[in-house]
Amino acid sequence: MRKPIYLTAGALSLVLGFAGIFLPLLPTTPFVLLAAFCFARGNPAWEARLLADPRFGPSIRAWRERGAIPAQGKRLAVLMMLVSALGGWFLLPPGWHMVPAGFCAVVGAWVLTRPSA
């Protein structure tokens, strides 16, 4: 019963990760990591294909083994969060502009404390 759910969630995550390659504000790596997690439980053959992929495999293995994020991924993630926080700062009413800024500050700090792959 759970395998179809994991398979569907993995496929959806992979589609979103693929879209993130072309859409600048949509992250790729978190969706690919989620797809690998779901495929490990829903379809191990698809997980193996992701692990064998030269673009995604090293990032997935680094995350699983050490909780590491590639340095370039860290820089891009923090930059995109900064852009999002600045957009919220100028577009949201006073008081509300602190919500995305605070969220991005917490998540950005967490990303920067992860080991580099």
pLDDT tens track for 43-89:
999 999 999 999 999 999 999 999 999 888 889 889 988 988 898 88
| Mean pLDDT taken over the chain | 90
How much of the chain, in percent, has pLDDT values that exceed 70? 100
Same domain as 61, residue 11? yes
Same domain as 38, residue 91? no
Sign (positive or negative) of CA dihedral 53, 56, 13, 28: negative
Beta carbons of 92 and 99 less than 8 angstroms apart: yes
How much of the chain, in percent, has pLDDT values that exceed 90? 54
pLDDT for 7 beyond 90? yes
Domain extent, residue 76, equals: 71-113
Residue 106: Cβ-neighbour burial (10 angstroms; 0-12, 13-18, 19+):
exposed
- Report the pLDDT value the prediction gives residue 14, as an integer from 0 to 100: 93
State the total domains in the chain. Answer: 2
pLDDT for 24 beyond 90? no
Is this prediction's pTM over 0.85? no
Lookup: tokens for 87: 């957009």
